[in-house]
Structure 1
Amino acid sequence: MQDIVYVVAKLQARAGKEEALRKLIEPVIEPTRQEKGCRRYSVMQDRQNPAVITLLEEWDTEADLDTHLALPHLQKIFAELKDVLGAPPDIVRYKEIG
């Protein structure tokens, strides 16, 4: 059985930075979906609070996810997120147990 890595990442934009957050994330959606090991990369905006964007991800392996996170364009985005987030990102890696 493959040990798929599930990720839920919740990002909360600072007031007035909602659009800036979307503009940072949108360009990486399709390229990420093409990466080795990416099974799912869904980006959603909270209907009740548009300042919150949640990413749901599934990766074949921890190594695939770690490779994704180390890519230069993602490192650049991580640095830029500091200017638009109102709270630290809430990122959790999960494994399926049933």
Structure 2
Amino acid sequence: MATLTLNVRFTAKAGRESELREVLQNMIEPTVAEEGCLAYELYLHPTDPSKAVLLEEWVDADALARHFETPHLEACAAALDELLVEPFQLRRFTEI
């Protein structure tokens, strides 16, 4: 079975860039500890501090579904509602 890779894009409201970065950084440790998480990496845009992307890799869709139910993701999602200009963009990819 092919792994599942996610590209999740975020754009912070003006003046909320550091808060967004902190919220996303706080997700890394508990997420990489989850069963089925192969990678969970945060990247910031080199010239626009309002933009960030998470690159995630999961063993399968079931592992990702379990991640969506974790308390740390629920807390992050609640914080994101206040920090983002628009809803985050999540794209799913599989290996070919």
Could you tell me which runs of 5 or more consecutive residues in structure 2 were left unpaired when the two chains were aligned.
none
What corresponds to 2:40 in structure 1? Answer: 41
Could you tell me which runs of 5 or more consecutive residues in structure 1 were left unpaired when the two chains were aligned.
none
Task: Normalising by structure 1, report the TM-score.
Answer: 0.92
Calculate the aligned-residue CA RMSD, in Å.
Answer: 0.9
For 1:40 and 1:72, locate their aligned partners in 2 and report how far apart those are by CA, in whole Å: 19
For 1:53 and 1:28, locate their aligned partners in 2 and report how far apart those are by CA, in whole Å: 13
What corresponds to 2:10 in structure 1? Answer: 11
Instruction: Assess if the C-alpha contact under 8 Å between 2:27 and 2:76 holds in 1.
Output: no
- Equivalences for 1:1-98 in 2 at 5 Å? 2-97=1-96
For 1:21 and 1:57, locate their aligned partners in 2 and report how far apart those are by CA, in whole Å: 17
- Consecutive aligned runs of 4 or more in structure 1 exceeding 2 Å deviation: none
The number of aligned residues is 96
% identical aligned pairs: 33
